[in-house]
């Protein structure tokens, strides 16, 4: 328990001696130093991101395809992390042991928020001649110190893990929801939901069980530190996929849109599923079990937790999205695009915060808020706001994504709570591959029993190959690093993320070629290749399910499930989808947007007066045609957050239509 | 020193008893609770901003002019702050007194960063039956407790003041620099610099001296707590103006652009001046003086500090701006607008961070970085990036500005460190008005001696009237609230900001009418009313100084100061301005942008080979004409961050040219 005297503190000490003006100045200098260190940390990441951006440009310019930008960000991060670790001077923290007053009245079993620390009190400080005056300082609670000997808390170039959940992930997830190609997403909804919901749970269970088995075979010290719930938690955090690299390549090579939609949709949803799942496992752990045992009622309660939190979060996000749609529909805020964009951003972030306040999952809420904003609100926005929100979230997503991958690289060296355990790492790699296989192949087999067209074998291989791990796995792993087991999980997760992003990401082009997946398809070709081509012309590319009933007579029942001529396998699922499509096109779209047919035509007769109130003049007056074009999601959806060269001459003056014409 | 047992803690306590599983779960629950409170705080501000946005829309829709959006944000903030204060349940922090181990070896005069607190140690905890296990917790340093009795540290809906300097102010200041109307700014540079530099210093000195006099007349307890440096610091922080409201109204009513440029330019620069000035005063205080006395050498050193920090920060910002211009000129990153925008944002934030790392002023750096980015880099950007960066910073600025004004309102009630002292508040109001008068009238008189056309009296009154106080004053005041003197300053500053923003902002339209300042001028009228109309045609509206020499023969000396036929008062200032204009148009513009004439024409003969390397093919090939249009700042500069109605039909599909054509 020797106090650590280090460089920075020494300088402060010298300053304090030289100027002789006491502790206050030294404290100010210390605060300044800390601020500079914070700024330096941020500057390191800013420079790394700048470097990444410039290198991406070089790669794109020279058409390098064996390394993607995320892989690049990770590699730069690793290099800089190693430099910081081995070259930088240490700036260790100073600490002291303290005990409460013996006569203190305090009757909570939790430690206090603030410790009022009397310094220097009884201890002798040899600071030059001037005696250090006795003062009281406030110290705020930070956490438990598990291993008192291991006291080098060195937090170089690291951030609070909660930053990932509250600042970095929301824009990424919102962007994914906002830019989801809803048309293809809903066409492949069955497969996507199966892979994302059932598949992720299955994968978590398989990885958790196998890891538990592996751990039991290892040295006793390791085996004792992992409970079954620990390994199950590892299974949950390593299951979500983040196939950014693969999708970027898909988009460049114009791979089959259905395959694209399945991989993208699954990766968006399984992030949400894994987050809620890991939360449920932690709740189970906290509430019912201290020895890692298994109780059936507790297990059922955890499943209830999972379903409840997921659906309530979904509801919160969807409601906020619909509320924004109503606000933008019934006010003329559209006339002031800046106000409108601000409203859009604020309500979307509000969805995240509301979910967090009610102990739901903000990330899930923000995902479904994004989907609703794209599906309803986007249609009410002014052209300027559409452009602005799309570009804003695209940029935020790009920066956030590259930041997180850079951070994964840097933290591999600088994060103090890594625990390298070769057996656990090897087992982690093998089981995470197995988990992905268990997710894809058996479920594809089951899906193919009822699916037309079936998922071909080479698509299945590609789905398996796209199982890169990314931001969500890392964020979940770094959230809790109290125990050695958790630290081993973080190390393994970091390595799996780095390996899959760099190696699998780099090999994606070759995998596509090896699996003979056709590339270079155009939008129209695909439209014609789809089973829906007989329903409507290729020009009419509105959301499919929604329009199934839109040409019917206005007085048909809104729960109509009249069978149509498309061959989507029929059965309960298709009926539900058609029901939803009818509700959406007859009730929600006319209510929340300026879409036709208006509510006055679709509502049953006794609700017509209400319908009249909720219908805008624009809904009456605009033609069916102009609606169709606005309504399409083809002008909204970005397939991937990748920049693609434009051929616009940048020297041309670009007068932006935002109304700033005056003065 | 009784421990405070409050609602939240009680709940935690009950949970801990009921479930009997110890401190860990209670701690987890506490962390969850804190996270929920943080989310709730953010949600409050998000809702307030949403409400503000919607109300602004209503006001604009109904053409309400007696209250501006910033005033609105402040009022909403006040209402919600009052509700939180008087209706919300308190969630007070728990604390305990602690002493260091008597036998600890620790020889720094500064208190340690971390206190390792042993709990419950010797004290008796009566938590149900289960004994609380002895554990060690880490507590991190927070600050000195001055008044041990006053221990209700209640931080409802408040944020760390450093957030303002590191997150909220940079985008506001950058946006101001990026959207500065440089043409009019440079035309009135003399007046702007005089008002911003000399005026702010003068105002700070006058306010500081008068306040010191006032304080001496007040009750002894108050007089003793203020040193002259304290009141001087108050003078520095209350001097910068923030005439958002006034400028918004100017822009709507199309007031004279020269008056607009003077008010806007001054308010942008005096924020930077006041920040550096207050820093210099604090440094002086820290280094040389503990009793508030005055030393001439220390005073000169403080002036040196001021000049050094200001000019170095300016240099850092300008260099980063030029570096970005070079990067965008010599790479083809322009082909990928997303990468380009990311690069732009990252380097601009990098300028802030670099200045902070080197203990300069990030806000000053970011301001001049913004001006350089607009002047050079903007010309190299692709159309998409121009649009995107402009819209991004516009939105960020809008949100940041409204947040800060909402926060001023809320914190009036919830910030725990307010100190209401009626005498100090009254004195503050009077002296801040006097300080503004001392800034404007004598300096205008001096300026008018050499200025053609002179600043008319009604413009001077309007300059005086535009002396609203805003974000920078508040941010400086809330930064340090350790002593009672500083707390009284915060309270006074908050009240002055609220009063000026709400009252002066609301009365601005009437003031314009009362002072008979002509409104409704168009861009072309103004151009013709300016003394430069004989130099060039109204269509050629590029930056004036820059183009003074651009039509001369290519081999003229780049330090040319040939007198021109415009009547800008002549003398040293005009010669310097012309010199700078020549350097800018002959060296910097061709070097940093694709502007013509290329360096091969402007450099002296022996530097031509170097010039050839630094000239792009585009510079050789493009016509003079296309350049001129791009070069103008009329398509970049936004007069004010106010949304103005557009006449675009939002139902029209808006295909954004960003290159996402595939799939």
Distance from CA of B608 to the nearest CA of A (A): 26
SS3 B114: strand
Unique residue bearing structure tokens 């390792």: B116
Per-residue pLDDT, B599: 78
Closest by CA to A597, choosing from A568, A649, A558, A632, is A558
Residues in A touching B9 (Cβ below 8 Å): 108, 110
Beta bridge partners of A137: A117, B144
- CA–CA gap between residue A608 and residue A600 (Å, rounded): 5
**Percent of all residues in chain A with a pLDDT value above 90, rounded to a whole number:** 21
Distance from CA of A381 to the nearest CA of B (A): 7
Taking an 8 Å cut-off on Cβ atoms, the answer to whether A132 and B109 are in contact is yes
The mean pLDDT of A612-633, rounded to a whole number, is: 60
The mean pLDDT of A387-413, rounded to a whole number, is: 90
Evaluate whether A469 touches A432 at the Cβ level (below 8 Å): yes
Residue A152 has pLDDT above 70, yes or no: no
What backbone torsions phi and psi does residue A96 show, to the nearest 5 degrees?
Answer: -150, 150
Residue B45 has pLDDT above 50, yes or no: yes
In terms of DSSP bridges, do strands A135-144 and B135-144 run parallel, antiparallel, or are they unpaired?
Answer: antiparallel
Evaluate whether B142 touches A114 at the Cβ level (below 8 Å): yes
Beta bridge partners of B143: A138
Mean pLDDT is lowest, of A289-293, A343-347, B336-340, for: A289-293
Distance from CA of A610 to the nearest CA of B (A): 24
Taking an 8 Å cut-off on Cβ atoms, the answer to whether A622 and B651 are in contact is yes
Beta bridge partners of B116: A97, B138
The mean pLDDT of B263-279, rounded to a whole number, is: 88
Least CB–CB distance from A100: residue in B119, B338, B659: B119
The mean pLDDT of A522-550, rounded to a whole number, is: 35
pLDDT band per the 50, 70, 90 thresholds, residue B550: very low
Beta bridge partners of A343: none
Beta bridge partners of B117: A98, B137
Residue B466 zone, left/alpha/beta (φ > 0; ψ -120 to 50; rest): alpha
Count the Cβ atoms, other than its own, within 10 Å of residue A566: 17
Mean pLDDT of chain B: 75
Structure tokens at A358: 């009610």
Residue B22 has pLDDT above 90, yes or no: no
Write the burial class of residue A553 (CB in 10 Å: 0-12 exposed, 13-18 middle, 19+ buried): exposed
Least CB–CB distance from B93: residue in A99, A113, A126: A113
Structure tokens at A623: 């033609």
- CA–CA gap between residue B487 and residue B215 (Å, rounded): 15
In terms of DSSP bridges, do strands B114-119 and B135-144 run parallel, antiparallel, or are they unpaired?
Answer: antiparallel
SS3 A652: coil
Please, which residues have CB within 8 angstroms of residue A60's CB and are 6 or more apart in sequence? Answer: A643, A645, B335, B336, B339
Residues in A touching B386 (Cβ below 8 Å): 654, 656
In terms of DSSP bridges, do strands A114-119 and B95-100 run parallel, antiparallel, or are they unpaired?
Answer: parallel
- CA–CA gap between residue B312 and residue A282 (Å, rounded): 52
Distance from CA of A246 to the nearest CA of B (A): 15
Residue B125 has pLDDT above 80, yes or no: no
Interface test with B, best of A148, A523, A650, A658 (most B CBs within 10 A): A650
Write the burial class of residue A268 (CB in 10 Å: 0-12 exposed, 13-18 middle, 19+ buried): buried
What backbone torsions phi and psi does residue B562 show, to the nearest 5 degrees?
Answer: -50, 130
Residues in B touching A332 (Cβ below 8 Å): 57, 61
Interface test with A, best of B48, B93, B111, B637 (most A CBs within 10 A): B111
In terms of DSSP bridges, do strands A95-100 and B95-100 run parallel, antiparallel, or are they unpaired?
Answer: antiparallel
Residues in B touching A111 (Cβ below 8 Å): 23, 27, 96, 117, 119, 135, 137
Least CB–CB distance from A140: residue in B116, B139, B338: B139
Evaluate whether B432 touches B496 at the Cβ level (below 8 Å): yes
Taking an 8 Å cut-off on Cβ atoms, the answer to whether B50 and A336 are in contact is no
Cα separation values, A384 from A292, A641, B595, B648, Å? 55, 20, 29, 9
- CA–CA gap between residue A240 and residue A335 (Å, rounded): 41
Evaluate whether B225 touches B483 at the Cβ level (below 8 Å): yes
The string of pLDDT tens digits covering residues A551-570 is 333 333 333 333 333 334 44
Q: What is the DSSP letter of A93?
A: P
Interface test with A, best of B73, B651, B657 (most A CBs within 10 A): B651
Please, which residues have CB within 8 angstroms of residue B34's CB and are 6 or more apart in sequence? Answer: none
Taking an 8 Å cut-off on Cβ atoms, the answer to whether A356 and B331 are in contact is no
Residue B549 has pLDDT above 50, yes or no: no
In terms of DSSP bridges, do strands A114-119 and A135-144 run parallel, antiparallel, or are they unpaired?
Answer: antiparallel
Structure tokens at B511: 């003031």
Which of the two residues, B475 and A554, has the higher pLDDT score? B475
Residues in A touching B388 (Cβ below 8 Å): 391, 395
- Length of chain A counted residue by residue: 663
Distance from CA of B447 to the nearest CA of A (A): 25
Residues in A touching B337 (Cβ below 8 Å): 643, 646
Count the Cβ atoms, other than its own, within 10 Å of residue B653: 14
> Exposed e or buried b for every residue in A490-509, given b needs 16+ CB within 10 A?
bbbbbbbbbebbbebbbebb
Closest by CA to A170, choosing from A401, A443, A412, is A401
What backbone torsions phi and psi does residue A277 show, to the nearest 5 degrees?
Answer: -60, -45
Residues in B touching A357 (Cβ below 8 Å): 36, 39-40, 43
The string of pLDDT tens digits covering residues A637-655 is 333 333 333 333 333 333 3
Residues in A touching B392 (Cβ below 8 Å): 391-392, 395
Structure tokens at A217: 């075979």
Closest by CA to A70, choosing from A251, A245, A268, is A245
Residue of A nearest to B9 (CA): A108
Beta bridge partners of A144: B137
pLDDT band per the 50, 70, 90 thresholds, residue A22: low
In terms of DSSP bridges, do strands A95-100 and B135-144 run parallel, antiparallel, or are they unpaired?
Answer: unpaired
Per-residue pLDDT, A393: 92
What backbone torsions phi and psi does residue A160 show, to the nearest 5 degrees?
Answer: -60, 125
The mean pLDDT of A166-186, rounded to a whole number, is: 85
Residue of A nearest to B362 (CA): A39
Per-residue pLDDT, B209: 92
Please, which residues have CB within 8 angstroms of residue B103's CB and are 6 or more apart in sequence? Answer: none
Per-residue pLDDT, A7: 42
Per-residue pLDDT, A640: 35
Distance from CA of A636 to the nearest CA of B (A): 9
- CA–CA gap between residue A174 and residue A377 (Å, rounded): 14
Distance from CA of A482 to the nearest CA of B (A): 12
Taking an 8 Å cut-off on Cβ atoms, the answer to whether A110 and B30 are in contact is yes
Mean pLDDT is lowest, of B6-10, B21-25, B494-498, for: B6-10
The mean pLDDT of B164-188, rounded to a whole number, is: 85
| Whole-number CA gyration radius for chain B | 28
The mean pLDDT of B74-94, rounded to a whole number, is: 80
Residues in A touching B627 (Cβ below 8 Å): 651
Taking an 8 Å cut-off on Cβ atoms, the answer to whether A118 and B141 are in contact is no
Kindly report whether the peptide bond that precedes residue A597 is cis, defined as omega within 30 degrees of 0. Answer: yes
Beta bridge partners of A118: A136
Cα torsion at B116, B122, B128, B129 (round to 10°)? 110
Structure tokens at B40: 């709730």
Taking an 8 Å cut-off on Cβ atoms, the answer to whether B390 and A656 are in contact is yes
Evaluate whether B473 touches B277 at the Cβ level (below 8 Å): no
Per-residue pLDDT, B87: 75
- Length of chain B counted residue by residue: 663
The string of pLDDT tens digits covering residues B300-313 is 888 888 889 999 99
Residue A202 has pLDDT above 80, yes or no: yes
Distance from CA of B434 to the nearest CA of A (A): 32
The string of pLDDT tens digits covering residues B363-379 is 899 999 999 999 899 98
Residues in B touching A386 (Cβ below 8 Å): 654, 656
Residues in B touching A13 (Cβ below 8 Å): 108-110
| Whole-number CA gyration radius for chain A | 28
Count of CB contacts below 8 A, A vs B? 539
Which of the two residues, B660 and B319, has the higher pLDDT score? B319
Interface test with A, best of B320, B643, B656 (most A CBs within 10 A): B643
What backbone torsions phi and psi does residue A558 show, to the nearest 5 degrees?
Answer: -80, -10
The string of pLDDT tens digits covering residues A97-130 is 777 776 666 766 677 777 777 776 666 666 555 5
The model's pTM = 0.80
Residue of B nearest to A357 (CA): B36
Distance from CA of A225 to the nearest CA of B (A): 17
Closest by CA to B334, choosing from A636, B342, B630, B613, is B342
Taking an 8 Å cut-off on Cβ atoms, the answer to whether B390 and A144 are in contact is no
Residues in B touching A631 (Cβ below 8 Å): none
Residue A333 has pLDDT above 50, yes or no: yes
Taking an 8 Å cut-off on Cβ atoms, the answer to whether A651 and B644 are in contact is no
Residues in B touching A283 (Cβ below 8 Å): none
Taking an 8 Å cut-off on Cβ atoms, the answer to whether B2 and A120 are in contact is no
Q: Please, what is the Cα angle at B467 between B465 and B472, to 5 degrees?
A: 160
The mean pLDDT of A168-172, rounded to a whole number, is: 89
Residues in B touching A659 (Cβ below 8 Å): 643-647
- CA–CA gap between residue B327 and residue B340 (Å, rounded): 10
Per-residue pLDDT, A148: 52
Least CB–CB distance from A43: residue in B143, B354, B645: B354
Kindly report whether the peptide bond that precedes residue B198 is cis, defined as omega within 30 degrees of 0. Answer: no
* DSSP-assigned letters across all residues of A558-614: TT-----S--S--HHHHHHHHHHHHHIIIIIHHHHSSPSSPHHHHS-GGGHHHHHHT
pLDDT band per the 50, 70, 90 thresholds, residue B490: very high
The mean pLDDT of B77-84, rounded to a whole number, is: 90
Per-residue pLDDT, B171: 92
Residues in A touching B42 (Cβ below 8 Å): 353
């Amino acid at each position: 328990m020797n106090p650590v005297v280090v460089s920075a503190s020494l300088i402060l000490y010298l300053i304090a001696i030289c100027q002789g003006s006491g502790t206050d100045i030294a404290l100010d200098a210390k605060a300044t130093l800390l601020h500079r260190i914070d700024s330096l940390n941020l500057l390191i990441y800013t420079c790394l991101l700048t470097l990444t951006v410039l290198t991406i440009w070089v790669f794109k310019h020279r058409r390098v395809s064996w390394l993607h930008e995320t892989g690049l960000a990770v590699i730069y991060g690793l290099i800089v992390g190693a430099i910081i670790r081995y070259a930088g001077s240490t700036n260790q923290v100073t600490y002291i042991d303290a005990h409460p007053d013996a006569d203190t009245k305090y009757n909570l079993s939790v430690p206090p928020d603030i410790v009022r620390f009397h310094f220097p009190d009884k201890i002798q400080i040899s600071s030059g001649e001037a005696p250090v005056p006795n003062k009281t300082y406030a110290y705020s609670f930070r956490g438990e110190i598990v291993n008192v000997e291991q006291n080098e808390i060195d937090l170089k170039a690291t951030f609070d893990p909660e930053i990932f959940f509250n600042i970095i992930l929301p824009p990424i997830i919102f962007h994914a929801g906002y830019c989801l190609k809803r048309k293809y997403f809903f066409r492949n909804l069955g497969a996507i939901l199966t892979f994302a919901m059932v598949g992720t749970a299955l994968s978590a269970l398989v990885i958790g069980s196998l890891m538990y088995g592996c751990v039991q075979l290892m040295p006793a010290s390791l085996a004792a530190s992992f409970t079954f719930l620990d390994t199950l938690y590892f299974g949950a955090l390593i299951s979500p996929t983040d196939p950014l690299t693969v999708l970027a390549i898909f988009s460049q090579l114009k791979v089959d849109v259905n395959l694209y939609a399945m991989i993208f949709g699954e990766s968006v949803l399984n992030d949400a599923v894994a987050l809620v799942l890991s939360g449920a496992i932690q709740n189970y752990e906290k509430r019912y079990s201290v020895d890692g045992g298994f109780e059936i009622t507790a297990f059922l309660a955890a499943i209830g937790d999972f379903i409840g939190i997921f659906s309530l979060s979904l509801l919160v996000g969807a409601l906020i999205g619909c509320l924004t749609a109503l606000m933008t529909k019934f006010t003329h805020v559209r006339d002031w695009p800046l106000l409108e964009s601000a409203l859009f951003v604020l309500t979307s972030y509000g969805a995240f915060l509301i979910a967090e306040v009610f102990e739901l999952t903000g990330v899930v809420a923000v995902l479904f808020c994004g989907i609703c904003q794209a599906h309803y609100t986007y249609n009410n926005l002014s052209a300027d706001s559409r452009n602005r929100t799309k570009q804003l979230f695209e940029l935020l997503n790009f920066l956030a994504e590259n930041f997180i991958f850079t951070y994964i690289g840097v933290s591999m060296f600088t994060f103090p709570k890594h625990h390298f355990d070769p057996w656990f790492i090897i087992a982690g790699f093998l089981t995470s591959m197995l988990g992905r296989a268990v997710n894809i192949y058996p479920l594809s087999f089951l899906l193919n029993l009822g699916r037309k067209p079936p998922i071909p074998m080479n698509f299945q291989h590609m789905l398996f190959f796209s199982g890169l791990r990314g931001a969500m796995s890392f964020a979940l792993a770094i959230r809790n690093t109290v125990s050695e087991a958790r630290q081993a999980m973080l190390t393994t997760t970091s390595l799996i993320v780095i390996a899959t992003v760099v190696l699998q990401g780099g090999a994606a082009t070759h995998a596509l070629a090896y699996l003979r997946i056709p590339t270079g398809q155009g939008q129209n070709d695909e439209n014609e290749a789809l089973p829906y081509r007989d329903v409507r012309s290729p020009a009419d590319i509105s959301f499919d399910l929604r329009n199934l009933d839109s040409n019917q007579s206005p007085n048909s029942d809104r729960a109509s499930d009249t069978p149509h001529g498309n061959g989507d396998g029929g059965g309960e699922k298709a009926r539900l989808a058609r029901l939803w499509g009818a509700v959406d096109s007859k009730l929600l779209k006319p209510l929340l947007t300026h879409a036709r047919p208006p509510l006055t035509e679709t509502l049953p007769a006794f609700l017509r007066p209400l319908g009249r109130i909720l219908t805008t003049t624009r809904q009456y007056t605009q033609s069916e045609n102009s609606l169709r074009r606005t309504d399409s999601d083809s002008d909204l959806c970005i397939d991937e957050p990748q920049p693609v060269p434009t051929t616009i001459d940048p020297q041309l003056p670009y007068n932006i239509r935002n109304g700033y014409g005056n003065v």
